[in-house]
Amino acid sequence: RDNMVIMQTLLGAMAISSPLFPAMSELRAWDPRGWAVALLLHVAVSEPGFRWAHRALHRGPLFSRYHSKHHSSPVTQPLTSAYGTPLESLVLTLAMAAPLAGAFLVGAGSVSLVYGHIFAFDYLRCMGYSNVEVISHRAFQAFPLLRYLIYTPTYLSLHHQEKDSNFCLFMPLFDLLGGTVHPRSWELQKEVDQGKNDRVPDFVFLAHVVDVVSSMHVPFAFRACSSQPWTTRLVLLPLWPIAFCLMVLQVLCSKTFTVSFYCLRGALHQTWTIPRYSFQYFIPPMKDGINRQIELAILRADRMGVKVLSLAALNKNEALNGGGTLFVDRHPDLRVRVVHGNTLTAAVILNEIPGSVKEVFLTGATSKLGRAIALYLCRKRIRVLMLTLSSERFLKIQREAPAEFQQYLVQVTKYHAAKTVKTWLVGKWLSPREQRWAPAGTHFHQFVVPPVIEFRRDCTYGKLAAMRLPKDVQGLGSCEYTMERGVVHACHAGGVVHCLEGWEHHEVGAIDVDRIDVVWKAALRHGLSPP
């Protein structure tokens, strides 16, 4: 994309400084003659010229040297339109500039022509690569000639797949004249438009937006930004008002949408997002609406034939819906398996703890993850100091442990009780003041969102539980929040394992401690690994 931007900037600057280009003060805002000239030159020069150059790029060494990279995307996206070599960028720039140059040479140029022509050109390019049918097949049936005047995403997709047909810029008329129209172009477009060729995902990870600024960390907003782990970038801060307005709009009128996808062993995996932000989950009047959004997404996945849907972060909050139990109880006939993925999250945290550790300090001890971690560790004869003010909840968890291991679970109510413990399992946010109680050399294992501030320089801090996807994953073009590309949150990975194993049970509510090792071994067997 940078090649084209730089090239067009330089050529535009040269054109403006040329004596053939009138001064900006003399340029008219509107001139219909210029639009007529530009349209004529587009049809007579740009379309046949681009098709000839495009077909030439598919021959012999020109393809391998200058055009093969453009065809390296198995699934086209709008930004694929600008992904190419400088030679391809030059061809596109000349095709776009020829009508403008002609209009200005005859003295009919205008400001509206420059902006309007460039916008229309870029829009049609992005539309063709979008993989979304914008023009209904009914329009082509009602006006048969229209199919030769404007191409479709399906038309271009066939070119990217077959590489021996459909070479036009925007008008299939020139492929018709050259005998290079793919015979299935219109039949396939009709099938796609009617939804007959829609591919159903096998697995869906149902996420939500974290905050206003990070809402821009999506492929369809800033591809370069989303291809790297999320971090606050100063360049995005001026766009905060726009992102805020979009947040308000989403609350008023929006539904779950697809953010990203990848393929794993022939199966399509997608990430859907509930159009709600983290802070909204803690506003009581919004809870019912959020649960309704989650429920609608689950029912949609069930109708589509999705096999497994994994709930992310606050979408499985115990206070919100009992870790997904609400939906499974309300719809007992669901075919899609609903999972919270926390069994693998617990497994990742537990397998990070060195085997030599005999005592740990646990905050968030009575939470879903805290309970499972405590019960697992006590069975390993590891002493667990459980920070909680509720003796009732502590005793409830302690009674779940076998009698011979209950002695390893100890209730504490103050942070100073852990002043000699160097392994802290953090399930509740720690302030810098609370971190001071940890001795030097402590390692903080975290399962709290957001992660704690790394205040102590004499201690080490773990990252949120995550797993690296198998090496044969395909189509990963973006990062999952702060994770590097190819690494996903453990609850996401837990859903992937559930899908790969073909398990038929729902994983909702309390974590089954007996399945922690089962899920961990299954993850490793399928090629997932700790990052």
Could you tell me the pLDDT band of residue 323, with boundaries at 50, 70 and 90? very high
Q: What's the whole-number mean pLDDT along residues 474-486?
A: 90
198 or 346, higher pLDDT: 346
Q: What's the whole-number mean pLDDT along residues 305-332?
A: 94
Give the chain's mean pLDDT: 91
At residue 85, φ and ψ (nearest 5 deg) are -85, 165
**Of the ranges 2-11, 212-221, 314-323, the best mean pLDDT one:** 314-323
Residue 324 Ramachandran class (φ > 0 left, ψ -120 to 50 alpha, else beta): left
- Residue 219: its pLDDT value, please? 84
- Residue 2: its pLDDT value, please? 62
Q: What confidence tens digit (pLDDT) does each residue in 116-142 have? A: 999 999 999 999 998 888 899 999 999
- Residue 184: its pLDDT value, please? 93
Radius of gyration of the chain (CA): 29
Q: How is residue 465 annotated by DSSP?
A: P
Please return the burial class of 505, using the count of CB atoms within 10 Å of its CB with bins 0-12, 13-18 and 19+: exposed
Q: What is Dmax (Cα atoms) for the chain? A: 94
What proportion of the chain, given as a percentage, has pLDDT over 70? 98
Could you tell me the pLDDT band of residue 1, with boundaries at 50, 70 and 90? low
- Residue 107: its pLDDT value, please? 87
- Residue 293: its pLDDT value, please? 95
Q: DSSP per residue over 225-251, as a string?
A: HHTS-----GGGGGGHHHHHHHHHHHH
Does residue 439 carry a pLDDT above 70? yes
- Residue 197: its pLDDT value, please? 66
- Helix/strand/coil for 485: coil
3 or 250, higher pLDDT: 250
Give the lowest-confidence range in 10-24, 116-130, 135-149, 498-512. 10-24
- Residue 236: its pLDDT value, please? 83
Q: Is the CB of residue 227 less than 8 Å from the CB of residue 480?
A: no
- Residue 25: its pLDDT value, please? 60
**Of the ranges 410-424, 446-460, 470-484, the best mean pLDDT one:** 410-424
- pTM of the predicted structure, to 2 decimals: 0.77
- Residue 30: its pLDDT value, please? 92
Tokens, residue 520:
């961990």
Q: What confidence tens digit (pLDDT) does each residue in 244-291 have? A: 999 999 888 888 999 999 999 989 999 999 999 999 999 999 999 999
Q: What's the whole-number mean pLDDT along residues 460-464?
A: 92
22 or 359, higher pLDDT: 359
Q: What's the whole-number mean pLDDT along residues 368-383?
A: 96
Q: What's the whole-number mean pLDDT along residues 26-37?
A: 90
- Residue 84: its pLDDT value, please? 83
- Residue 98: its pLDDT value, please? 94
Question: What residues does each domain of the chain span?
Answer: 4-194, 203-339+469-526, 344-464
- Residue 456: its pLDDT value, please? 92
328 or 71, higher pLDDT: 328
- Residue 458: its pLDDT value, please? 94
Strand-pair partners of 446: 426, 464
Could you tell me the pLDDT band of residue 308, with boundaries at 50, 70 and 90? very high
Query: What CATH architecture does domain 344-464 belong to?
Result: 3-Layer(aba) Sandwich (3.40)
User: In whole angstroms, how far apart are CA 504 and each of 191, 315, 323?
Assistant: 33, 21, 18
Other C-beta atoms closer than 10 Å to the C-beta of 314 total: 21
What proportion of the chain, given as a percentage, has pLDDT over 90? 74
User: Cα–Cα–Cα angle for 345, 321, 506, nearest 5°?
Assistant: 55
Q: Is the CB of residue 96 less than 8 Å from the CB of residue 47?
A: no
- Residue 24: its pLDDT value, please? 59
Q: DSSP per residue over 487-521, as a string?
A: EEEHHHHHHHHHHHHT--S-B-SS--GGGHHHHHH
Q: Is the CB of residue 321 less than 8 Å from the CB of residue 327?
A: yes
Q: What's the whole-number mean pLDDT along residues 72-76?
A: 75
CA distance 269 to 200: 9
Does residue 17 carry a pLDDT above 80? no
Could you tell me the pLDDT band of residue 22, with boundaries at 50, 70 and 90? low
